[in-house]
Chains A and B, each alone.
Chain A
């Protein structure tokens, strides 16, 4: 139990940020994503014996967070938990995330966002992404290509990669 405890703690610390980013990119709501990811990690720990053997435990967490249910999403989206002192619902992601990028991501179909998030934030390859989502590898490639094309088209010129470091730093 002690070993599993430490193992999960290491896993959590190593993957919590990337999981949060992936879910936030898909959900478009940081606060909500944080709660979803927290819940998913709780479930991961409660099923750690199974999750630790998963091909991509991080992806298990992200998928669990995203699959928690539409009604749960809707309810959580509209209610702010006690710990937040009823702060106003977030209108943006904050933390330096470019609002234009968020808007562009929101315009993508959900499946494209999911593929993009798994590839970018979890560094999953095409095969693993396909396995995690349950679609064909070719479909993953097509989704990714369409998503990137749409983002390239939608994002303001000032935010293209040539200037990205200037924007962020």
Chain B
């Protein structure tokens, strides 16, 4: 090359240990999931134009779903929002939570919290923000949840409430394109926000008050 060789060589060599482990299959899966979601968004929009038919079907109780799913918003003239979560029994004694991400999905945090509670999993669910201990380390999630990404890009989390340390709950932060989870101790002062280092709001354990 030229007189810059030495520095350029050093930079290149210094980064030589960085490797991207993600298999190409994951790229294909992400792509498939995105196309499917787009299609489902288009389908949903098409359904919306049909009018009240879909809403009547949804609210009058069709076939009983095996899962407890997130609430759909009431029919409106706005874009249709799809179910963002489902909570099912299994495998074994575990519970499986599936979270779907994307602008077309809407998560009712209260509905998810209640659904998880029915499975013995106390949780703090927030949308567009994430709560973590204001100080100190969080509790290890390792033995509690086993996450994986489904082919359509959704997050499937197998969890077992019985493995949660007593006095802890799951903090779930749901964002349009990603989800964060953390195990927090009850009574811990929390800082919540879209950042880990610059919390936008604080929640005190004594109550739901949020202050900036």
Footprint of B on A, CB under 8 Å? Answer: 5, 8-9, 12-13, 16-17, 19-21, 24-25, 30, 34, 37-38, 41-42, 45-46, 75-76, 78-83, 85-86, 89, 93, 95-98, 101, 105, 116, 119-121, 144-145, 148, 151-152, 155, 159-161, 164-165, 168
Within 8 A of A (CB), among B104-146: 130, 132, 138, 141-142, 145
Q: Are A93 and B18 in contact (CB under 8 A)?
A: yes
Stretch among B42-50, B70-78, B192-200 lining the A interface:
B192-200
Interface centre among B7, B145, B175 (most CB of A within 10 A): B7
B116 to chain A, nearest CB (A): 15
A168 to B16, CA, bound (A): 9
B131 to chain A, nearest CB (A): 11
Q: Are A148 and B7 in contact (CB under 8 A)?
A: yes
Q: Given A101-B10, A161-B9, answer yes or no on A21-B181 (Cβ-Cβ < 8 Å).
A: no
Within 8 A of A (CB), among B180-211: 180-182, 194-198
A20 to chain B, nearest CB (A): 4
Q: Is B89 an interface residue (CB 8 A)?
A: no
A75 to B198, CA, bound (A): 12
Q: Are A152 and B7 in contact (CB under 8 A)?
A: yes
Q: Are A89 and B15 in contact (CB under 8 A)?
A: no
Q: Are A42 and B31 in contact (CB under 8 A)?
A: yes
The interface residues of chain B lying within 8 Å CB-to-CB of A83 are 147, 149, 155
Main secondary structure of the interface of B (DSSP, over half): mixed
B147 to chain A, nearest CB (A): 5
The interface residues of chain A lying within 8 Å CB-to-CB of B15 are 21, 24-25, 97, 121
How many residue pairs between the two chains, A and B, have CB atoms under 8 Å in the bound complex? 138
- The residue that A85 contacts in the complex, of B7, B27, B181, with Cβ under 8 A, is B181
- The residue that A120 contacts in the complex, of B6, B12, B181, B182, with Cβ under 8 A, is B12
Q: Are A34 and B20 in contact (CB under 8 A)?
A: yes
The interface residues of chain B lying within 8 Å CB-to-CB of A13 are 24
Q: Is B8 an interface residue (CB 8 A)?
A: yes
Write the chain B residue with the least CB distance to A42.
Answer: B30
Q: Are B197 and A78 in contact (CB under 8 A)?
A: yes
- The residue that B14 contacts in the complex, of A80, A81, A148, A168, with Cβ under 8 A, is A168
A102 to B194, CA, bound (A): 26
A151 to B22, CA, bound (A): 31
Q: Is B17 an interface residue (CB 8 A)?
A: yes
A107 to B12, CA, bound (A): 18
Q: Are A30 and B24 in contact (CB under 8 A)?
A: no
Q: Are B8 and A79 in contact (CB under 8 A)?
A: no
Interface centre among A34, A79, A98 (most CB of B within 10 A): A79
The interface residues of chain A lying within 8 Å CB-to-CB of B197 are 78, 89
Q: Are A95 and B22 in contact (CB under 8 A)?
A: no
Q: Are B173 and A148 in contact (CB under 8 A)?
A: no
Q: Are B11 and A161 in contact (CB under 8 A)?
A: no
A155 to B19, CA, bound (A): 24
